Amino acid sequence: MSETDTDATATGTPDQRLHPWSWLFVLLQQLRQFIVPLLVLMFAGRGDHDAWPYAEYAEYAPLAGVLALVVVSVLQYFTYRYRIGAEGISIRSGLLQRNLREIPFTRIHNVGVHQSLLHRLFGVAEVRLESAGGNKPEGQMRVLGLQQALALEQLVRHHGSGAATTTGIAERPDGAAPAGQAEGRTLLSMPLGEVVRMGLVSNRGMLVVAAAAGLVAQASPERMMGNWLEQQVRGAAGYAEQLHLGWLGMASAALVLVAVAMAAIRLLSVALALSQYYGFRLIQTQGRLVVERGLFARLRTSVAPRRIQAWYQQETLLHRWFGRRALRIDTATGGGENDPRKLRELAPIATPAACEALFVHLLPGVQWPPAAWQGVPRRCWWRLFASSVPWTVLLVAVLWWHLGPWSLLAALWLPWSAYAAWQQAGRLGYVVDARLLAVRGGWWSRWWRMAELDKVQALQLQRSPLDRLLGTASLWLDTAGAGPLSPPLRIRFLPHAEARALHARLGRVLAARRMRW
């Protein structure tokens, strides 16, 4: 809620400022936003000085722009205040247009403490106060002293557990957290070996390479990239002919080059994992889950377990080779799906036993893994297989223009796709009890999706024309904060009578729970 400046509500703490170096970080943030216009002014000022009057002063335009940004950053430091009240946090800002923002403690669902490498050098941190929904934080403080930021996080955490005090920060002149507070219980930590394993099983290196290739392709003139690749291939082929390797030697050399490239991508993935997840710790303290991670930039974010809307376990083929699994969550807090500061991973990589123990610990009384899964008719495998047939036929048709009959080798994907669909149909299943609904799927890459019935917000029985022809139906369920990259919470290919009975059962449970609310 924003409004014009009014007298602050009487509280037990005085107004507090940001860190004295906050103007520098605000300046750097603004420079990143205006770097392109400043560069345009810089290069435009080097033109013909006789083109217009006072043109000789144009080269000073970028400097004037930077000075203006410095003034704005300093003014923001002197006009930004926040106050800790009995019921929430008040933030005042603005010089000409003054604003007052009241953020109740009950509205704050997540407190993020972010430290880049520059933050760590200055001993400061950025604090984000996030609520349910929305892509922007309720409050953002650039920047506070590290101890002051941690004390603010602890104060919000105390209030969430019913132990808040309005003097939690002001009592300490250095802004440190109150003495005697327990650090909390460490539920999961990732030693260096686990971080390396995560890099080996992830595809982050491939994503970076693909993004870099796309950027180069967009920045280079038309066909420059294609011509360069063609020259490299011709040069390698000519060098191979000089060595008289023959077709077997050339094939071996090509395989070696592919293996080296894949190894380099995996090493890049390991480096990225070390940068993001080094020192990972999941801590439970004062009714909240806190995650700390990062090598150069340290990130500390927290969420209350009651804010968790759904759970997602993933186990790819590489995960199984290493005997590992990942546990992620959906939360009803702000921030986009790709926001790195949003808490989405409770266990980026861990043993299956550790993931299951963590899930049971945070949902006491839930039986996991279930004693038995309710399967779906395995004859639905052909519906999974049919979705891949058109794409395979299209690929063969496209390759025919370039390879001729050799393009038919791509059709070998169809038997493999049929086998994979048969295996996936055998793993489809669901479990519904008095508290939890869970679905599972996948074969090559396996997954489990779980949600408490209290968190289900929508229930839909869906039938396509093919479902009506075959006498089947699907149940779709929705929760808040569901990410687009996670498998949907749905039960597919059920016999129509079974789907209707399950829909009615879940509908009665959800209606009864809403009446109790």
Q: Is the pTM of this model over 0.85?
A: no
d(C-alpha 329, C-alpha 320), whole Å: 21
H or E segment and range at residue 183: none
Task: Return the structure tokens found at 372.
Answer: 């038995």
Phi-psi region of 162 (alpha: psi -120 to 50; beta: other; left: phi over 0): left
Beta bridge partners of 475: 461, 491
Instruction: Please name which of 97, 138, 109 lies closest in space to residue 5, comparing C-alpha atoms.
Output: 97
Task: Return the structure tokens found at 245.
Answer: 């390797």
The residue count for the chain: 517
Amino acid at residue number 177:
A
d(C-alpha 268, C-alpha 203), whole Å: 9
Give 461: exposed, middle or buried? Use CB within 10 Å, 0-12, 13-18, 19+: middle
Amino acid at residue number 29:
Q
Q: Tens of pLDDT along 353-386? A: 999 999 999 998 888 999 889 999 999 999 999 9
Amino acid at residue number 124:
V
Residues of the chain with pLDDT under 70: 1-13, 35-62, 132-135, 160-183, 214-247, 249-250, 333-341, 483-485, 514-517
Per-residue pLDDT at 6: 41
What DSSP assignment string belongs to 82-97?
Answer: EEE-SSEEEEEE-SSS
Which stretches within 363-484 are classed as H helix? 381-386, 389-403, 413-427, 465-470
Q: In the chain, what are the domain boundaries?
A: 111-190+279-364, 201-276, 378-424
Q: How many CA atoms lie within 13 A of 275 on its CB side?
A: 11
d(C-alpha 196, C-alpha 192), whole Å: 6
Task: Return the structure tokens found at 434.
Answer: 């008095």
d(C-alpha 208, C-alpha 216), whole Å: 12
H or E segment and range at residue 408: none
End-to-end CA, the chain = 26
CB neighbour list of residue 165: distance below 8 Å, 6 or more residues apart = 155, 158
- Residue pair 392/410 in contact (Cβ under 8 Å)? The answer is yes
Per-residue pLDDT at 473: 94
